[in-house]
Each structure stands twice: as C-alpha cells, then as structure tokens.
Amino acid sequence: MPTRTYLEAIRDGIREELLRDPTVLVLGQDVGTYGGAFRVTSGLLDEFGPERIVDAPVSESAIVGMSVGAAMNGMRPVAEMQFIDFLTCGFNQVVNMAAKCRYRWNAGVPLVIRGPCGGGVHGGPFHSQNVESHYLSTPGLKIVEPATARDAKGLIKAAIRDPDPVLFFEHKFLYRRVREDLGEDDPVVPIGKAEVCRTGTDLSVVTFGACVHTALEAADALEDDGISMEVLDLRTLLPIDREALIASARRTNRIVLYHEAQRTGGIGAELSAILAEEAFEWLDAPLVRVTAPDTPVPYSPPLEERFLPGAEDLRAAARRLVSY
C-alpha cells in the first residue's frame, strides 16, 4: 500500500471495518454523495450503498440520537460531526444516554462519534475548538485523538470494534499534512495505551494529537540547548494511561503538560492532579502547563497564531523547568 495521509488512514480503517462487519454503518451530514465535509468518507457510498452510508439531516442531536438507537439494536454506527464543536448539540444523548447504558442495565452502545477538532486553519471560534474537557468527566465514554496516520487507522478500527461509545477526535491540521507508509498489515491500536514517541532524560512533555508534532519539533530544537526532552503521546484521553504517565515522571523527574485547548479545566489539570497524587516523590520541579489562553479561538490569522501554544512556547517552558 502506498503512503497514506492521516485522512486517508481514517477512511481506510472505516472501509476495512465496513467490509469486515456488516453491522457497521456510517451516517452524518453529507457523508454520502459529497464524501464528508473534509472528504473522509469519499467513495464509500459507491462501494457500500445508501443503506450503510447514510446522509442525515442537518441536526447533530438527531444524528447522535439515531446512532444511539441503532447501536442499541445491534448495529455499529460511525457518526460524523462536520466539526466536533457541534457535538454539544447532542450532548444529552452522549452523556445521559450512550454513556450510562452500560451502568444502568449492562447494555453496550457500540457507537463511534468522530469529527475534526482544533485550530490552525483560521476556522474561527465555532469551528476550531478542542472539546475533550467537556466529556472527560463522563463515566462510560472513551475518548481518543491520534497524532499519526498509523494510529489514526489503528484507533478508528479499535473504536468501531469497542462495545461501548467512543469519541474519536481528528485534528484537522493533520488531515493532509501527515502521511505514513502503513504497509499491508491490519493495525489495531489498543485504546487506553500511550506511546513514547521520543525518549529523553531531562524532562517529559505529555501531549496528544497535533501537539505531538509540535513537541517533536521543540525537542529537536532543544537538543541545541543540551536539553533532552521525552515526548509521551497519550493517544487515548479517557481512560488516561496512568502507568505510562507516572513512568515518564519517574524517568525524567520534570513534566510539561501540553495541549491546544484552553487552560482552565483542561486535561492538563487532570494530568497534573494524577502526577501530584501518585508521582510527587519523583518530581524535582513544579508541574508546568503549556496551553491556549482562556478565550475563544480567534478567526484572525495573526491572533490565532498568537493564541495557539507553539514550539517556542514549549521550548521556553522546558528551559525554565530544567533550570529550576
């Protein structure tokens, strides 16, 4: 198989699951004839037909509600949000219906809700958000956000096969900028397992999604300063791989929590709490968060560039932490 972009890897994973399991179906706004807002589902309608690739009304709450019902009746729906920001329109169905069915009466809801998140493409405040913190405190959900094409394919396959609801976030900046040779294997990346993308000795940056690539860029630059930075890609945001997080703290003794979402109430705060509770004795410096400020995402390109935490912000934080 030739190299595949992040976007194509997601499509490949969905297609392979449609072929493997006749209960899998795709639904969402414009997923059929148009091929999805970002063309992730392009070509699937021709191959699988309108009964399995379903164009839905312009109503996110209806899409989520239909998907929950389909999952309860033996199907495995993959629901697309054109922008993940609008998943809030179906918030009740996600947190009060899908997420609680396993607890209430041991009914699995094998549902995947996927869609583009994140900034960097000048989408403005309604099409650029990172919404993971809205859902992190909901028992019964799983949340994943891959950084690479291989993980994108492997995690979408794992999400579709999971017996419970999975939120699958795709950073839109990666869709056509990241590509990888996936070979001919059938990778399924386990949900709940982080990965060390780069080893280091002086400090660790814990991150996910598009921020992984920025962290790797910062780590390369920090080598010129004589600083060795480990990069831990969470891959799964719920449940958090606590063992991998604590192991990284034990290796480097200094931690930066790095995410694109706003600071207050972000996943960095939860990661900080885990480290303070379970890895305090291995920390040689305070925990540091590198995040966006507590404002909506600006539309203006220069304002958005200033808003998004970048490689230089991460480098500055790393230098401060190492010199503590």
Return the active site residues: 127
For residue 112, give both structure tokens. Answer: 């995947």
Q: Are 45 and 18 spatial neighbours (Cβ–Cβ below 8 Å)?
A: no
The contacts of residue 113 (CB under 8 Å, 6+ apart) are 64, 67, 79, 81, 87, 90, 94, 165, 166, 167, 168
Angle of helix 311-322 relative to helix 211-223, nearest 10 degrees? 50
Q: Which residues pair with 233 in a beta bridge?
A: 195, 207
- Exposed, middle or buried: residue 88 (CB in 10 Å: 0-12, 13-18, 19+)? middle
Q: Tell which phi-psi region holds residue 145, choosing left (phi > 0), alpha (psi between -120 and 50) or beta.
A: beta
Q: Which helix (H) or strand (E) holds 169?
A: strand 166-171
Residue 27, SS3 per DSSP: strand
